[in-house]
């Protein structure tokens, strides 16, 4: 018999009593933006597959071809026998695309952020982190053992004050999402680079939600704003707009060599499976050569944003394909999510600790492949939910 401290059900009950219980919702079948949940066809309105590439035939064919040629798994960590030519080719392609000397792929965005922060800063250093940064950046900051200064969201003046106060730190690193994952707004990257440069700090940008979505070639917000060369670390994921799985870090040759030597989440894990590498590589080609997908994504985001505003929803300005529909209370957010599901629309409710207390919301995300009739269906379901709640 285990002692009472091991009563895990008590703990779960406590989470559920606070309206914060989570459970996995199973997708039984998927075809682009239409999925089957609980036996019914449902419109997908909360995927990060912004360009609809996860089910693109070219990516699927590339994944199959890579698995056939290289195997189902890479068999080992990259530093042992798991560094295959296909990894190297993807890294070269990403480096060229991101206009960087080199790139390195990681097993996930979570791994990449932990690994970079732990490798670059430590005791005696200072990290400056936006209050709404992704959990993986927050955890990376903690793991690094550097002094962590959290500045109010997108507040460049506050960042500058924090940088001045920490002038004694050995290395200073400013770290920010470029597109904030739960709010969809964009970081003031040019101002952040200015302030960082004035204070001798380097900048790390998480382009998870900007890769494939911003910039003339889809390389991200750094490309869109012409900030190449002013950002030390550009990190992005392969599992969102690129429709595959994994992540990259792009930067100088020394940065990449240091990561290979020091980033524990790179060193001590198995290399990305060939199928994921093959699909990501095909995705980079599609993203670079089909800007019309980005145009359709933006048109779709404008359409649904406009419909929600006209329907009485209080929406923040449109800055990305992520549209938070603010609710506030945890249970009400989940009730709205269920209400929409009953009408065949899936927009996941997001609650603490993913977002701050009292800011529960539905995180609506658009895809380039949403059709006009699907967007009309989505808008109608939201308006219906609002009428019913009134
Ligand atoms: N950074 C941001 C901003 C993210 O939104 C995410 C994923 N939600 C990650 C990093 C982690 O990426 P991955 O899913 O590849 O671990």
SS (H, E, C) the chain: CCCHHHCHHHHHHHHHHCCCCCCCCCCCEEECCEEEECCEEEEECCCCCCCCCCCCHHHHHHHHHHHHHHCCCCCCECCCCCCCHHHHHHHHHHHHHCCCCEEEEECCHHHHHHHHHHHHCCCCCEEEEECCCCHHHHHHHHHHCCEEEEECCCCHHHHHHHHHHCCCCCCEEEEEECECCCCCCECCHHHHHHHHHHCCCEEEEECCCCCCCCCCCCCCHHHHCCCCCCCCEEEEECCCCCCCCCEEEEECHHHHHHHHHHCHHHHCCECCCHHHHHHHHHHHHHHHHCHHHHHHHHHHHHHHHHHHHHCCCCCCCCCCCEEEEEEECHHHHHHHHHHHHHCCEECCEECCCCCCCCCEEEEEECCCCCCHHHHHHHHHHHHHHHHHHC
Ligand 1 centroid to residue 129 C-alpha, Å: 16
pTM (two decimals): 0.96
Out of 208, 239, 279, 321, mutate this one to test ligand 1's pocket (max ligand atoms within 8 Å of CB): namely: 208
Does the beta carbon of 177 sit less than 6 angstroms from any atom of ligand 1?
Answer: yes
Nearest CA to ligand 1 atom 15: 109
Does the beta carbon of 180 sit less than 6 angstroms from any atom of ligand 1?
Answer: no
Angstrom distance (rounded) from CA 79 to CA 66:
20
Out of 48, 50, 54, 110, mutate this one to test ligand 1's pocket (max ligand atoms within 8 Å of CB): namely: 110
Atom of ligand 1 nearest to the CA of 239: 15
181 is a catalytic site residue: yes
Does the beta carbon of 181 sit less than 6 angstroms from any atom of ligand 1?
Answer: yes
Does the beta carbon of 184 sit less than 6 angstroms from any atom of ligand 1?
Answer: no
Q: What is the pLDDT of residue 390?
A: 61
93 is a catalytic site residue: no
Q: What is the pLDDT of residue 31?
A: 84
Angstrom distance (rounded) from CA 128 to CA 66:
40
Does the beta carbon of 237 sit less than 6 angstroms from any atom of ligand 1?
Answer: yes
Q: What is the pLDDT of residue 23?
A: 87
Angstrom distance (rounded) from CA 137 to CA 140:
5
Nearest CA to ligand 1 atom 10: 109
Ligand 1 centroid to residue 378 C-alpha, Å: 26
Per-residue pLDDT for the chain (390 aa), expressed as one digit of tens each?
A: 899 899 999 999 999 998 888 889 999 988 889 999 999 999 999 999 999 999 999 999 999 999 999 999 999 999 999 999 999 999 999 999 999 999 999 999 999 999 999 999 999 999 999 999 999 999 999 999 999 999 999 999 999 999 999 989 999 999 999 999 999 999 999 999 999 999 999 999 999 999 999 999 999 999 999 999 999 999 999 999 999 999 999 999 999 999 999 999 999 999 999 999 999 999 999 999 999 999 999 999 999 999 999 999 999 999 999 999 999 999 999 999 999 999 999 999 999 999 999 999 999 999 999 999 999 999 999 999 888 766
Q: What is the pLDDT of residue 386?
A: 84
209 is a catalytic site residue: yes
Out of 237, 249, 283, mutate this one to test ligand 1's pocket (max ligand atoms within 8 Å of CB): namely: 237
Does the beta carbon of 130 sit less than 6 angstroms from any atom of ligand 1?
Answer: no
Catalytic residue among 33, 74, 178, 181: 181
């Amino acid at each position: 018999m285990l002692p009472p401290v091991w009563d895990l059900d008590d703990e779960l009950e406590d989470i559920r009593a606070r309206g914060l219980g989570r459970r996995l919702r199973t997708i039984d079948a998927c075809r682009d933006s239409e999925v089957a949940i609980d036996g019914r066809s449902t419109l997908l309105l909360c995927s990060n597959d912004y360009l609809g590439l996860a089910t693109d035939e070219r990516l699927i064919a590339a994944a199959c071809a890579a698995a056939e040629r290289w195997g189902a798994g890479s068999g080992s960590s990259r530093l042992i026998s798991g560094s295959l030519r296909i990894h190297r080719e993807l890294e070269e392609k990403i480096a060229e695309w991101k206009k960087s000397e080199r790139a390195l792929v990681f097993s996930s965005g979570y791994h990449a952020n932990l690994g970079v922060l732990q490798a670059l800063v430590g005791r005696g250093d200072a990290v400056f982190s936006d209050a709404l940064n992704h959990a993986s950046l927050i955890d990376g900051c903690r793991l690094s053992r550097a002094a962590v200064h959290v500045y109010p969201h997108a507040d460049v003046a506050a960042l500058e004050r924090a940088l001045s106060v920490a002038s004694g730190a050995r290395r200073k690193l400013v770290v920010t999402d470029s597109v904030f994952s739960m709010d969809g707004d964009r970081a003031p990257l040019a101002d952040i680079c200015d302030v960082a440069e004035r204070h001798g700090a380097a900048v790390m940008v998480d382009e998870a939600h900007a890769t494939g979505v911003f910039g003339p070639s889809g390389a991200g917000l750094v490309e869109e704003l012409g900030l190449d060369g002013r950002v030390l670390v550009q990190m992005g994921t392969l599992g969102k707009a690129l429709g595959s799985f994994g992540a990259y870090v792009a930067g100088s040759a020394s940065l990449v060599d240091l990561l290979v030597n020091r980033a524990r989440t790179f060193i001590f894990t198995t290399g990305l499976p060939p199928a994921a590498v093959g699909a990501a590589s095909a995705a980079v080609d599609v993203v670079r050569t089909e800007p019309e997908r980005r145009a359709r994504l933006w048109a779709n985001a404008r359409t649904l944003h406009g419909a929600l505003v006209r329907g009485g929803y209080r929406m923040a300005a449109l800055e990305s394909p992520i549209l938070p529909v603010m609710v506030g209370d945890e249970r009400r957010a989940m009730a709205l999510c269920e209400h929409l599901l009953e009408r065949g629309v899936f927009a996941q409710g997001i609650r603490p600790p993913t977002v701050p207390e009292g800011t529960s919301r539905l995180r609506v995300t658009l895809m380039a492949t949403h059709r006009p009739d699907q967007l009309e269906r989505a808008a109608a379901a939201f308006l219906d939910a609002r009428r019913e709640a009134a």
